[in-house]
């Protein structure tokens, strides 16, 4: 058993060091942080490789070799962070201050907390192995990428393109889930096993151009407004995937609100008799609604350049997010049927790539659940379909079973500081996260601790 107090102190110190590297993306400048992580791994005798896709950008790979009986496990985190509005912070976002039981800093939650927890897991595993003289049943591979916050083209996208051999693995742990404290210390760990696919659809209204002094009935902006009104009343059909079924079935076990709990059970009931009513209750919560159906959000509007000129077209951009296995063409077909306004076209302008779901009943999923229950016997561990996009989709397309866990128990209010002001991680949650990842990895890689 590792000495928890010493491990906690070391974790805090390492996360502070990691936060002090300003890896705001753009420009990222992750190389310096990659060199620090490399030295931390090397000092304990762990093999490392640094790859430099562009000047000052880097990916770091560290590997503890197993006996090869099973295929590797990847521990993934990104090194870059989003920018800060410095004036709105009460702490220096790149100092790593500890105050009142919290560690403050940009990236404390997303994703440097996980980076530090993954690093500690590697170090603890290596120390366990040195002490016991045993070998792991599979390689455990530490992967720190750049550029995730700008889409990952230079980061995980580049790695997949140029070094897929380094990513050969059965499983991966990444960000993308959450450990949510909901009520009186009750907690659920949502393990992301699949994600929605993001597409761009453009709705364009056409009309006659002319001088604004002579109003025209087919004004493109008027047409676009009526088309948007029609689209905004459209609701995509309810679709229950395997993962959302399990999500609601298990969440019902701990959910405090009676009406919502009943709706969760009705929704997954095999008879499906009360599913439409249950959908009405649950879809009032936007994050639930977003996992129950394809999502359509208007995001950009364009039309006209000058106050006295009627433009011949105007358009609105929709971000359409489909559930795995749902056809974008079918969804767009439904949108076209909804828009009866004349002179309006609905076109797909950017099509996302489908990624398979990871198995919510795998040995890795079980290892995560067991490690979580050891720390908190009452925690509900639920598979989760995320509405956001992570690097895990790229890994899943390579055939890796990737799982998203944000292993730090937090109330929603702290989670919302992610990408916001005064981002911070509760120290207790940080330590929980290290023990959770270490526990899950030790189980799946056959380490005695």
Which residue number, 226 or 419, has a Cβ lying nearer to Zn ion?
A: 419
State CA 259 to chain mean position distance: 29
Decide if residue 110 touches Zn ion (CB under 5 A).
yes
Mark the segment that binds Zn ion (CB under 5 A) among 52-60, 103-111, 270-278, 379-387: 103-111
Beta carbon nearer to Zn ion, 53 or 404: 404
Smaller CB separation from Zn ion, 30 or 260 = 30
> Which is nearer to Zn ion, 30 or 111 (by Cβ)?
111
Q: Is 391 in the site for Zn ion (CB under 5 A)?
A: no
d(CA 379, CA 183): 12
Q: What angle do CA 376, 377, 378 make, to 5 degrees?
A: 90
CB of 441 to Zn ion, least distance (A): 20
Nearest to 281 by CA among 229, 246, 238: 238
SS3 content of the chain, % helix, strand, coil (to 5): 35, 25, 40
Instruction: List, as own/partner pairs, every contact residues 35-38 make where C-beta atoms lie below 8 angstroms and the sequence separation is at least 24, other chains included.
Output: 37/62, 37/79, 37/115, 37/119, 37/142, 37/144, 38/62
Cα angle 370, 373, 378 (rounded to 5 degrees) comes to 145
Question: In this complex, which beta carbon is closest to Zn ion, that of residue 81 or of residue 344?
Answer: 81
Task: Compute the least distance from the CB of residue 78 to Zn ion, in Å.
Answer: 6
Going residue by residue from 162 to 191, which x/- string records binding to Zn ion, judged by CB under 5 A?
Answer: -------------x----------------
CA 98 to chain centre: 26
Task: Please identify, among the stretches 1-9, 98-106, 108-116, 320-328, the one whose residues bind Zn ion according to the rule CB under 5 A.
Answer: 108-116
CB of 415 to Zn ion, least distance (A): 12
Element spanning 364, H or E: helix 363-375
Q: For residue 422, how many other CB atoms are within 10 A of its CB?
A: 17
Would you say 80 or 236 has its CB closer to Zn ion? 80
Q: Which is nearer to Zn ion, 136 or 418 (CB)?
A: 418
Residue 422 beta carbon to Zn ion: minimum distance, rounded to whole angstroms = 18
Smallest gap, in angstroms, from Cβ of residue 175 to Zn ion?
5
Is residue 195 involved in binding Zn ion (CB under 5 A)? no
Distance CA 19, CA 91 (A): 13
List helix spans (H) across 197-257: 220-232, 242-251
Rounded least distance, CB 391 to Zn ion, Å: 9
What gap in Å lies between CA 147 and CA 34, rounded to an integer?
13
Binding segment for Zn ion (CB under 5 A), chosen from 37-45, 81-89, 110-118, 374-382, is: 110-118
Question: Is 80 among the residues that bind Zn ion (CB under 5 A)?
Answer: no
Please name which of 114, 11, 59, 80 lies closest in space to residue 405, comparing C-alpha atoms.
114
State the nearest-atom distance from the C-beta of 148 to Zn ion, in Å: 6
Residues 409-448 that bind Zn ion (CB under 5 A): none
Instruction: Count the site residues for Zn ion by CB under 5 A.
Output: 3
Of the pair 38, 111, the CB lying nearest Zn ion is at: 111
Stretch that binds Zn ion, among 38-46, 61-69, 95-103, 111-119 (CB under 5 A): 111-119
Minimum Å gap between C-beta 110 and Zn ion is: 4
Does 111 bind Zn ion (CB under 5 A)? Our answer is: yes
Rounded CA separation 105/92 (Å): 7
Query: Cβ contacts of residue 117 below 8 Å, gap of 6+?
Result: 11, 407, 430, 433, 434, 437
- Is 140 strand, coil or helix? strand
Q: What does DSSP say about strands 295-303 and 313-322: parallel, antiparallel, or unpaired? A: antiparallel
Of 29 and 204, nearer to Zn ion (C-beta) is 29
State the minimum distance, in angstroms, from the CB of residue 187 to Zn ion: 21
Rounded to a whole number of angstroms, the minimum distance from the CB of residue 311 to Zn ion is 39
**Judged by CB, which is closer to Zn ion: 330, or 416?**
416
Select the span of 106-114, 163-171, 186-194, 441-449 touching Zn ion (CB under 5 A).
106-114
Residues forming contacts to Zn ion in the complex (CB under 5 A) are 110-111, 175
């Amino acid at each position: 058993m590792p000495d928890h107090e010493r491990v906690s102190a070391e974790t805090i110190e390492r996360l502070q060091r990691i936060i002090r590297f300003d890896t705001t993306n753009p420009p990222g400048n992750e190389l310096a942080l990659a060199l620090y992580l490399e030295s931390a791994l090397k000092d304990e005798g762990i093999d490392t490789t640094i790859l430099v896709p562009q000047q000052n950008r880097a990916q770091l790979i560290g590997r503890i070799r197993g006996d090869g009986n099973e295929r590797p496990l990847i521990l993934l985190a990104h090194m870059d962070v989003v920018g800060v509005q410095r004036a709105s912070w009460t702490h220096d976002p790149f100092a790593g201050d500890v105050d009142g039981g919290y560690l403050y800093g940009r990236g404390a939650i997303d994703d440097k907390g996980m980076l530090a927890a993954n690093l500690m897991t590697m170090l603890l595993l290596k120390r366990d192995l040195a002490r016991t003289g045993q070998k792991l049943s599979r390689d455990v591979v530490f992967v720190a990428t750049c550029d995730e916050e700008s889409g990952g083209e230079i980061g995980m996208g580049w790695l997949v393109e140029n070094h897929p051999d380094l990513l050969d693995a059965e499983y991966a742990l990444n960000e993308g889930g959450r450990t949510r404290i909901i009520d009186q210390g009750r907690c659920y760990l949502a393990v992301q096993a699949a994600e929605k696919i993001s597409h761009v659809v453009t709705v364009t209204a056409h009309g006659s151009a002319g001088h604004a002094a002579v109003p025209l009935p087919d004004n493109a902006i008027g047409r676009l407004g009526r088309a948007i009104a029609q689209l905004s009343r459209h609701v995509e059909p309810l679709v229950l995937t395997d993962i959302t079924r399990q999500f609601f079935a298990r969440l019902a076990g701990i959910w405090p609100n009676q009406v919502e709990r009943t709706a969760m059970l009705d929704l997954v009931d095999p008879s499906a008799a009360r599913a439409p009513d249950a959908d009405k209750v649950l879809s009032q919560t936007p994050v639930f609604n977003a996992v129950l159906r394809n999502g359509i959000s208007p995001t950009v509007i364009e039309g006209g350049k000058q106050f006295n000129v009627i433009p011949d077209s105007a358009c609105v951009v929709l971000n359409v997010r489909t559930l795995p296995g749902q056809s974008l063409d079918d969804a767009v077909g439904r949108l076209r049927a909804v828009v009866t306004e004349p002179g309006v076209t609905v076109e797909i302008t950017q099509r996302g790539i489908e990624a398979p779901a990871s198995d919510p009943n795998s040995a890795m999923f079980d290892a995560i659940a067991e490690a979580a229950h050891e720390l908190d016997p009452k925690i509900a561990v639920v598979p989760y379909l995320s509405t956001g996009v992570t690097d895990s989709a790229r890994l899943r397309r390579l055939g890796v079973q990737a799982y998203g866990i944000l292993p730090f128990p937090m109330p929603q209010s702290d989670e919302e500081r992610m990408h916001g002001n005064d981002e911070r991680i509760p120290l207790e949650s940080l330590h929980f996260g290290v023990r959770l990842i270490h526990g899950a990895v030790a189980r799946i890689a056959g380490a005695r601790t």
